[in-house]
Amino acid sequence: MSDKGKRKLRGNIEGNARALATGFKYLVEPNRMTLDYPVESMKLAPNYRGFFTVDDKKCIGCSMCEMVCPPEAITMIPRVISTTGYTLPVQQGATQEAGAKPAKKTKRPVVNWGRCIYCYFCFDICPVDAFVSSNIHDLAFYNDADYRPSYEEYLKLPEDPVKKSKKVIPKPDIKRGIKYEPAP
Amino acid sequence: MGILLLIIWLIQDLLYLIVFPGLIVAMVLVILLIYLERKIAAKVQMRFGPLYVSRKVGGALQSISDLLRFSFQEFILPVGSDSIAFLMAPGFMFAFAMMPLIFIPVGPYYSYLFPSTLTILFSVALITITPIYAIIVGWASDNKFSFIGSLREALLVISYEIPLLLSVIAMVIVYKTLNYIPAVAFQETHLPGIILNPIAALVFIIVAIRSTGRFPFDITEADSELVMGLYTEYSALFFGIGMATPYIELYALSLIFSLLFLGGWWPASGHATGLLAGLFMPGVMVIIKAFIVMIVLVFLRAVYPRYRVDQAIRSGWERIIYLGIIAVIISILEAIII
């Protein structure tokens, strides 16, 4: 066998042995990078853009959010203001306050979650800061209709699916690449 | 009296084929092995692997749930397929993958269907039948991916069957017998085959990886190129059978490896009479050894990338076959010395 052939053979054997040894090392002491998701979940920043709702009392129905919404996810629906300060559907408001002075007509935004891109432009443009943010983001709907909530459904935030999970924060690590530490 | 003996013989053979080293034990081992394969690959690749089915035991029931899913899926027969061959071939493949077990003894006193003095020859010969049905599957599916997969299988089989036979012949020359039981007896009195002829063991391992389509020779089922290779058109239980076949082959080859190279039932030699010590302890020993071999072979999935077809064929014709010839020469020298 030539000198070059010998070197190549030794390289082959060495390379295979090293590959197997590395694999075995990781098998014995696993170095997992995956987040064990529903059990652990990442602690999100306070200004994280998740699902949001609107403060019914603060909103003035100016339709600026509908105008600015890039994917046209926000629709303004007609409402009437009741005596408590909260809005009511147009029909209900009309019957309830039939004898009294005419109810004041207004509009309120409703978001189509299938369209929303969570850009929060509506938050920026709102003149009275009526939108309420949350960092709930990991939620899917079972039905197509659930993506388009009614105004009453839209007013309450969806429940956080990972509320009970252990919160962790990712840390870069030289040896492992990424490491999850329990959040303070 | 003769009839009674015949009935006992039949019951023993049915037990042998269906229960102990045969179908049921093989299926349990395969289910366990598929789970371990996925888990080992996940651990090495920094993942979790199967976890959400039966979380408390680390997802151990995942394979069983997969099996149930395959059982209740709808079976679809492709329009252009050769339906008889399409339906029959997986069953034949599975049957021929199981068939070497007839000739592989798992204990010195645990008899098998055809007592013969040529068991090594028969079992190795039966292993080489399965690829024919793989080619039929590819032809019958009427699918380009299946067809390419079967062509690759055909090319590779030709380049790897000769080294398989050479490595087995090398051990046969050392043991001077074509029967497993004297071969194991030889290893008990002398040394295990893997020390007597390590090159033959290496060749056998490489060929076992190749013929069962484990990595790095996962060429016929290369998912990134050929969707699912031979089984692209299959669904439901037929797909499950097709997927289990290489593992059954792996089981048979690992049994042969543990008998030829690892001393068979060596520490539990079964000299004692009685059901447990005489019949089952040697068998359990052989199966434990075979299972360790299987785990080592599926561990390779996590380490190696896939060879190209031409690389695999070249390594078969240019390297492995020479290693096989070297193994035979070593064996001849040893046979002269011993």
What is the per-residue pLDDT across A77-130, written as a single tens digit (0 to 9) for each?
988 888 777 788 877 656 655 556 666 788 889 999 889 898 989 999 999 999
Burial class (CB in 10 A: 0-12, 13-18, 19+), B241: buried
- CA pseudo-torsion sign B84, B86, B88, B92: positive
> Rounded to whole angstroms, what are the CA distances from B73 to A63, B35, B76, B239, B242?
51, 21, 9, 10, 15
* Residue in B closest to A34 by C-alpha: B47
CB pair distance less than 8 Å for B48 and A32 = yes
The two counts, helices (H) then strands (E), for chain B are: 15, 0
A interface test, pick of B36, B37, B39, B46 with most A CB neighbours within 10 Å: B46
- How many angstroms separate the CA atoms of B321 and A75, rounded? 73
Residue A117: CB atoms within 10 Å = 11
Distance (Å, rounded) from C-alpha B211 to C-alpha B187? 26
CA angle, B199 then B33 then B153, to 5°: 60
| DSSP symbol at A149 | -
DSSP B318: I
Residue B166 vs residues A10, B126, B153: alpha-carbon distances, Å: 24, 16, 20
Q: Go through chain B and tell me how many residues it has.
A: 338
Interchain contact, B46 vs A27, CB within 8 Å: no
A153-178 pLDDT, tens digit per residue, is: 888 888 888 888 888 888 888 877 78
Q: Is the pLDDT of residue B9 over 70?
A: yes
What tokens were used for B6? Answer: 């015949």
Give me the amino acid identity at B264.
G
Binning chain A into helix, strand and coil, the percentages to the nearest 5 are: 30, 25, 50
Closest Cβ–Cβ partner in B48, B299, B303 for A36: B48
Q: Are B280 and B191 in contact (CB under 8 A)?
A: no
Q: What is the pLDDT of residues B170-213, one digit of tens each?
A: 888 888 888 888 888 888 888 887 888 888 888 999 888 888 87
pLDDT at A125: 92
Is pLDDT of B234 > 70? yes
How far apart (Å, rounded) are the C-alpha atoms in residues B212 and B124? Answer: 14
A20/B48 CB distance under 8 A: no
Secondary structure of residue B299 in the 3-state scheme? helix
- Closest approach of chain B CAs to the CA of A13, in angstroms? 13
Instruction: Judge whether residue B12 has pLDDT over 80.
Output: no
pLDDT digits (tens, 9 = 90+) for B90-147: 888 888 888 888 888 877 766 565 667 888 888 888 888 888 888 888 888 888 888 8
- Residues from chain A contacting residue B40 (CB–CB below 8 Å): 27
Residue B51 exposure: Cα atoms within 13 Å on the Cβ side: 12
The β-bridge relationship of strands A40-42 and A166-173 is parallel
> Residue B303 and residue A33: Cβ atoms within 8 Å?
no
The tokens 């024919």 sit on which residue?
B132
Q: Is the pLDDT of residue A70 over 90?
A: yes
Quote the minimal CA–CA distance from B40 to chain A in Å.
7
Beta bridge partners of B65: none
Q: What's the mean pLDDT when you consider all of chain A?
A: 83
Q: CA A51, CA B120: separation in Å to the nearest integer?
A: 68
Instruction: Give the start-to-end residue ranges of the domains of chain A.
Output: 1-30
Cβ–Cβ gap A26/B47 under 8 Å: no
- Residues in chain A with CB shorter than 8 Å from the CB of B303 are 19-20, 22-23
| Residue in B43, B47, B304 closest to A27 by CB | B43
Q: What are phi and psi of A166, to 5 degrees?
A: -75, 130
Of A19, A20, A26, the CB nearest to B43: A26
**In chain B, what residues touch A178 (CB-CB under 8 Å)?**
none
What element of type H or E holds A170?
A: strand A166-173
Closest by CA to B109, choosing from B283, B286, B258, B279, is B279
Cβ neighbours for B289, distance < 8 A, ≥ 6 positions apart:
B258, B262, B263, B264
Alpha-carbon distance B111 to B105, whole Å? 7
Which range of A118-132, B8-22, B87-101, B261-275 scores highest in mean pLDDT? It is A118-132
ipTM above 0.90, yes or no: no
**Alpha helix (H) residue ranges in chain A:** 3-28, 64-68, 90-96, 121-125, 151-155
